[in-house]
Amino acid sequence: MDYKALGLKVGLEIHCQLETHKLFCKCPSILKEEKPDFTIKRFLRASLSELGEKDVVAEFEQEKNKYAIYEGFKENTCLVELDEAPPGKINHHALNTALQIALLLKMDVIPEIQFMRKQVLDYSNTSSFQRTALVAMNGLLNFNNKKISIQSLCLEEDAARKTLEDSEKIVYRLDRLGIPLLEIATGPDINDPEEAKKIAEYLGMMLKSTEKVKRGIGTIRQDLNVSINKGARVEIKGVQDLRSIPKVIENEVKRQLELINNGKKVQSEVRKANQDNTTNFMRPMPSSSRMYPETDVSLININKKDLLLIKLPELFTEKSLALEKKYNLSPELAYELVRQKIDLGKYIKFKLEPELITKILIEYPKDVRARNNLDISKLKENDFIEILKLVEKGIPKEAIPEMFTDILTKGKLNESKYEVVSASDIESEIKKLVEKNKALIKEKGEYSIGPLMGDVMKKYRGKVDAKKISDLIRKEIAKLS
C-alpha cells in the first residue's frame, strides 16, 4: 500500500511498569496466581454529572448489565486498591524514574505536578478512575534522521488485570492495580507501519536502559492511534508483541478503506487488538471531559536544581557498541549481552574467541530450547563454566548442544563422555581405516569419504571436530595416489 498517498498517521502510546512498590501505598508490585484471599462484588451505575449529563462510556458499560468480582491478596492488596482508603504518599522512586526518562527524551518537565482522576468505566479500576499525572511535555526523539515528537509523559496507576469474563460478570485481580506505570505518547508523526515498530523498539530500549522497569510478558504494552485521509482516529488497545505492530496497522488501514469505499463513515472509537492482528470494537472514544483534579494527593513541586542531579543512564545501544569494538562481536551478540546483563569480562579468561564464548552464553542455549523444548532458565553459571572449560581443552563445537542437553535432562555433565582424544590416536585410527578400505577408495575415489567419516565419527563424535577428521581422511587418501 502507498501509505504516503493514503495520508497514514500513527501515534504510539507506550505503557511500562516500573520495578518498585505500588504508586500510592507500600504494597509490593507482584502478581499472584493462587487462590485469592478474598473477593468483592460490585455493580456499575451511570449517574448524572454536575451538568446534568450522563457519560456516554458509562452508559455503554452499564448497558452490558454485568457486575464485577474483585480478587485480592493480603500480601499485595490494601484498602487503597479497594477504594476504601485515600491514597498514601507518592512513591518517590517511581517519580524519579519518570523524571529520568523525561530528561532522556529532552522533555520540558512540569514544575508543579498535579495528579488527576481520569475516568475509567470498564471495572478495571475500583474507583472508576485512574490516578494519573502529566510529568513532562514537548519532547523529541531523533530516529533515523527523522524527528518524532514526544507529546507527553505521564506517571499513573496500572489497572487491575482481567482474569475471566462471561455473560454475567467480569473478574479482576487487584494485584496489578496501583503498580506505577509510565505512559509515553508520541505525536502522529509516524507514516509507515514498519517505522512504528522500530520506534516502539527504540523507546522500549531507552526504558530498559534505566534498569528500573519491569520485564516480562505484559509489563510493556503498546496502544496505537491510527488514521488515514477521509477516515478517523482509532485507538487500538493492547498490542503486546512489537512484531505485530505493522500487521495491526495494515489491517486497520484496510478496515477504514473498506468503509470509505462503501460510502460509510469511519467512527472514531477504541478497538481491542486480537491475537490474529485484527481488532474488535471495544467502546466509543471517551470525551475530553474526563479529567478531574485528585484532591487526595498534594501538588508536587519539581526543583530545577534537583533535575540537574539526576544522572542519565548509558543506553543499551551505546553499551553494545562499546562491546562490539572491544571484543570484535557482531551487533546482535553485543546487544544480547547488554540486554541479558551478562558480564563477558568474567569469561574472557578462557582461551577462546570472544564471539565463541558469547555464542555459548547466548545462542547455543536458545538453540537447545528450540530443538528440544527444554527450560534453559535452569542453567547456572557453573554449567556455562564447565562447558567453556571443555571447549577450551579441545572438545569440538559440535558437542556443545549435546552438553547443554545432558545438563538439562540428566542434571549433570559426564566429562568422561567428552574426553579430548590425542591427534596421534585419531591419525592412527584413520590410517587403519584407509588401509582397510584401500581397494574401494582406489575404485571410487573420494566418493567413499562419507562412509569413512561415519565410521570415525561413531567412535569420536563429540570429542573431535568433524572438519579435522575430514581433513585427516583426505590427507591419508591423497597418499594412495
pLDDT tier at 289, thresholds 50, 70, 90 = low
Q: Where are any strands of DSSP class E within 190-230? A: 220-227
Task: Report CA-CA distances (Å) from 314 to 100, 272, 309, 338.
Answer: 12, 35, 16, 11
> Residue with C-alpha cell 590427507?
475
Per residue in 425-471, pLDDT tens?
666 767 776 666 666 666 665 545 666 666 666 666 656 666 666 77
- Answering whether pTM is above 0.95, one says no
- What are the DSSP calls for 244-277, one per residue? GHHHHHHHHHHHHHHHHHTTPPPPPEEEEE-TTS
- Over 70: is that where the pLDDT of 212 sits? yes
**Three-state SS sequence of 66-116:** CEEEEEECCCCCCCCCCCCCCCCCCCHHHHHHHHHHHHHCCCEECCEECEE
> Residue with C-alpha cell 581405516?
433
Which H/E stretch holds residue 304? Answer: helix 304-308
Q: CA 225, CA 13: separation in Å to the nearest integer?
A: 8
Per residue in 256-283, pLDDT tens?
999 999 999 999 999 999 999 999 999 8
Per residue in 12-54, pLDDT tens?
999 999 999 999 999 999 999 999 999 999 887 777 666 667 6
> Residue with C-alpha cell 474526563?
290
- Over 90: is that where the pLDDT of 240 sits? no
CB 460 within 8 A of CB 472: no
Q: What is the pLDDT of residue 445?
A: 58
Provide the sign of the torsion angle of the four alpha carbons 78, 81, 83, 88, taken in this order.
Answer: positive
Residues contacting 139, CB < 8 A, separation 6+: 102, 105, 106, 107, 108, 149, 150, 151, 153
pLDDT tier at 398, thresholds 50, 70, 90 = confident
The mean of the pLDDT values for the chain is: 88
From 61, 95, 362, select the one nearest 212 (Cα to Cα): 95
Q: What is the pLDDT of residue 307?
A: 92
CB 176 within 8 A of CB 70: no
Quote the DSSP letter at residue 239: E
pLDDT tier at 133, thresholds 50, 70, 90 = very high
In the chain, the percentage of residues whose pLDDT exceeds 70 is 85
Per residue in 81-116, pLDDT tens?
999 999 999 999 999 999 999 999 999 999 999 999
Q: What is the pLDDT of residue 128?
A: 87
Q: CA 138, CA 103: separation in Å to the nearest integer?
A: 11
